[in-house]
């Protein structure tokens, strides 16, 4: 994995970087904690947060075979998703770190984990901690995970998955700064006695972290507006930790203290978590929804609710930068069908033109949750378009396609144009069209399959031989139907 961080966030000179890292670690005063199982470390420039991070790294008082690093995504919106690299090594100027490829492969089996290359290479949160770890822990396998904003149920699922995969030779590191204060961060909750009030705000967050109640921590961030950039990775760690875990504050400072200027200031805290990854204490993922027919049609009230939910979720995300639940949006709706896992796509249009379309082909999560996540994805994560702005949101028209489970067909001759959605798969590549695409474009079967092959990055006639096909049907409804 090639990083874009050296030369920008820190020196790309290996000798100079090594001297800097050793100097930070030698100067750090830390009590070695041989039972440390997790850390929270800051990720700003080393001149600001390096001493605080070094104390945290030095407190890990033994060697670890594997280090899992979770950091927030600053560069890409990834609602309800995590990104990991398909690579063998991660490189810094200090050398290459082997990745735990089998661990990463297991993660990629989960529906909420993807490989998003730009997130992996550009994200500084997961990479700023690596040079210190390379010096302090010279022989370990790395699992770097970039984390998007996640709903509570996804946080629980991620926590449960990670707990299945880690062991007592694993150190979990969450990379996060704490409060970002000042006009540069659009957060000025107070203007007097700033150093003391920042400390009070940050230590209030620390107290909620000590509770190991991730919902309480997220609620604290929401109610205070505390701009903790790694709140979702922290919440995942909190959901993972055994209930008897002890939390130790290793170091705390702010960039205002370092520079003497509090007009804009970022807070840095290193925390260590002591205990053990005891077997049999992993958090339970949310219970699956009660069974309902995977092809059941929705009623008018359910359709209307999902359209309202999609719009409200996208609007809320653009304002709050969080993935809300239906309850957060005051849009609770009691329907067994909405809790059934279904594939679903959310399509955004503006002035009759496509503005974003993303979805799940396979039923992986409850329909209501899938609509929330994909409405946000369509607005901010479709690579074909710039992200939707908050002001633009009201100008969009929303359409939802609820899918039946994809099923294989013997050959392309069995595909019904205008009725079947199609997934083409060949040579490790795939692409999908919803059922309405061919009709809207006026394509016949050959034209549709040619365009589908091109979308998959294949030659135009690749569909004729060696390709496999899945088909599905869709219940399509939108705001324009009202």
- What is the per-residue pLDDT across 412-429, written as a single tens digit (0 to 9) for each? 999 999 999 999 988 878
Map the chain to HEC letters: CCCCCECCCECCCHHHHHHHHHHHHHHCCCCCECCEEEEEECCCCHHHHHHHHHHHHHHECCCCCEEEEEEECCCCCCCCCEECCCCCEEEECCEEEEECHHHHHHHHCCCCEECCHHHHHHCCCCCCCHHHHHHHCCCCEEEEEEECCCCHHHHHHHHHHHHHHCCCCEEEEEECCCCEEEHHHCECCCCCCHHHHHHHHHHHHHHHHHCCCHHHHHHHHHHHCCCCCCHHHHHHHHHHCCCCCEEEEEEEEEHHHHHCCCCCEEEEEEEEEECCCCCCCCCCCCCCCCCCCCCCCCCHHHHHHHHHHHHHHHHHHHHHCCCCCCCCCCCCCCCHHHHCECEEEEEEEECCEEEEEEEECCCCCEHHHHHHHHHHHHHHCCCCCCCCCCCCHHHCEEEEEEECCCEECCCHHHCCCCCCEEEEEECCEEEEECHHHHHHHCCCHHHHHHHHHHHCCCCCCHHHCCCEEEEECEEEEEHHHC
**pLDDT tens readout for residues 67-89:** 999 999 987 777 778 999 999 99
More confident residue, 185 or 306: 306
The distance of Cα 80 from the centroid of its chain, to the nearest Å, equals 5
Checking if the pLDDT of 305 tops 90, the result is yes
Q: Which CATH superfamily is domain 300-404 in?
A: Hypothetical protein ph0010; domain 1 (3.30.700.20)
What pLDDT is stored for residue 323 in this prediction? 84
Question: Which residues are CB-neighbours of 452 under 8 A, at least 6 positions away?
Answer: 422, 424, 431, 432, 433, 463
What mean pLDDT comes out for the span 355-375? 88
pLDDT at 406 over 90: no
Q: Does domain 14-274 have CATH number 3.90.1150.150?
A: no
pLDDT at 362 over 70: yes
Distance CA 149, CA 78 (A): 7
Give the confidence band of 240 by pLDDT, cuts at 50, 70, 90: very high
Which of 364, 169, 199 shows the shortest CA–CA distance to 265?
A: 199
Is 80 exceeded by the pLDDT of residue 287?
A: no
The average pLDDT across 364-372 equals 87
Is the per-residue pLDDT at 291 higher than 70?
no
| pLDDT band, very low/low/confident/very high, at 261 (cuts 50, 70, 90) | very high
Higher pLDDT, 83 or 294: 83
Above pLDDT 70, what percent of the chain?
96
- Does this model's pTM top 0.85? no
Report whether pLDDT(282) > 80: no
Give the pLDDT confidence score for residue 222 in this predicted structure: 78
Q: What is the pLDDT of residues 129-181, one digit of tens each?
A: 999 999 999 899 999 999 988 888 889 999 999 999 999 999 999 999 999 99
pLDDT confidence tier of residue 185, bands split at 50, 70 and 90: confident
Place of tokens 């490829």: 101
pLDDT digits (tens, 9 = 90+) for 201-224: 999 999 999 999 999 999 898 788
306 has pLDDT over 90: yes
Residues forming a β-bridge with 89: 98
Q: What's the pLDDT band for 293 if we cut at 50, 70, 90?
A: low
**CA pair distance 69, 125, nearest whole angstrom:** 9
CATH number of the 407-476 domain: 3.30.1490.150
pLDDT tens-place string over residues 454-482: 999 999 999 999 998 999 999 999 987 75
Rounded Cα gap, residues 315 and 337, in angstroms: 24
Which range, of 15-19, 110-114, 308-312, averages the lowest pLDDT? 110-114
When the pLDDT of each residue in the chain is averaged and rounded to a whole number, the result is 91
| Mean pLDDT confidence for 41-59 | 96
Question: What ranges do the domains of the chain cover?
Answer: 14-274, 300-404, 407-476
* 474-478, strands of its sheet edge to edge: 353-360, 343-350, 397-403, 474-478
């Amino acid at each position: 994995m090639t990083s874009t961080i050296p030369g920008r966030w820190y020196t790309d000179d290996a000798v100079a970087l090594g001297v800097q890292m050793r100097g930070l670690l030698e100067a750090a005063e830390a009590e070695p904690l041989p039972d440390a199982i997790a850390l929270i470390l800051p990720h700003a420039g080393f001149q600001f947060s390096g001493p605080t991070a070094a104390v945290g790294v030095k407190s890990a008082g033994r060697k670890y075979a594997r280090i899992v690093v979770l950091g927030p995504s600053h560069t890409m919106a990834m609602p309800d998703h995590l990104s990991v690299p398909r690579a063998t090594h991660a490189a810094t100027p200090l050398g290459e770190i082997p990745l735990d490829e089998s661990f990463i492969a297991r993660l990629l089996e989960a529906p909420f984990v993807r490989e998003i290359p730009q997130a992996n290479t550009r994200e500084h949160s997961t990479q700023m901690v690596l040079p210190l770890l390379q010096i302090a822990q010279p022989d370990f396998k790395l699992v770097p995970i970039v984390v998007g904003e996640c709903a509570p149920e996804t946080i629980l699922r991620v926590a449960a998955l990670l707990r299945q995969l880690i062991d007592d030779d694993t150190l979990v590191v969450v990379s996060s700064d704490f409060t970002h204060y000042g006009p540069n961060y659009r957060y000025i909750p107070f203007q007097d006695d700033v150093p003391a009030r920042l400390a009070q705000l940050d230590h209030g967050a620390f107290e909620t972290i000590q509770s190991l109640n991730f919902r309480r921590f997220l609620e604290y961030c929401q109610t205070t507006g505390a701009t903790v950039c790694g709140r979702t990775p922290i919440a995942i760690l909190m959901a993972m930790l055994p209930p008897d875990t002890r939390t130790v504050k290793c170091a705390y400072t702010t960039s205002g203290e370092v520079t003497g200027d509090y007009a804009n200031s970022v807070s840095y805290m290193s925390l260590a978590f002591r205990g053990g990854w005891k077997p049999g204490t992993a958090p339970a993922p949310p219970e699956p929804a009660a069974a309902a027919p995977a092809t059941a049609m929705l009623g008018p009230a359910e359709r209307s609710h999902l359209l309202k939910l999609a719009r409200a979720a996208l609007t809320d995300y653009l304002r709050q930068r969080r993935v809300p639940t239906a309850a957060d949006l005051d849009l609770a709706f009691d329907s067994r069908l909405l809790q059934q896992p279904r594939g679903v796509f959310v399509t955004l249009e503006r002035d009759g033109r496509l503005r974003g379309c993303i979805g799940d082909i396979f039923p992986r999560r409850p329909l209501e949750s899938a609509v929330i996540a994909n409405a946000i994805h369509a607005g901010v994560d479709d690579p074909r378009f710039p992200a939707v702005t908050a002001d633009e949101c009201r100008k969009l028209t929303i359409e939802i396609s609820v899918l039946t489970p994809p099923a294989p067909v013997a050959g392309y001759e069995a595909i019904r144009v205008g009725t079947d959605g199609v997934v083409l798969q060949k040579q490790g590549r795939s692409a999908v069209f919803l059922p309405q695409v061919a009709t809207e474009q006026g394509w016949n079967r050959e034209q549709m399959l040619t365009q589908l092959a091109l979308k998959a990055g294949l030659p135009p006639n690749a569909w004729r031989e060696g390709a496999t096909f899945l088909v599905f049907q869709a219940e399509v409804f939108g705001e324009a139907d009202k």
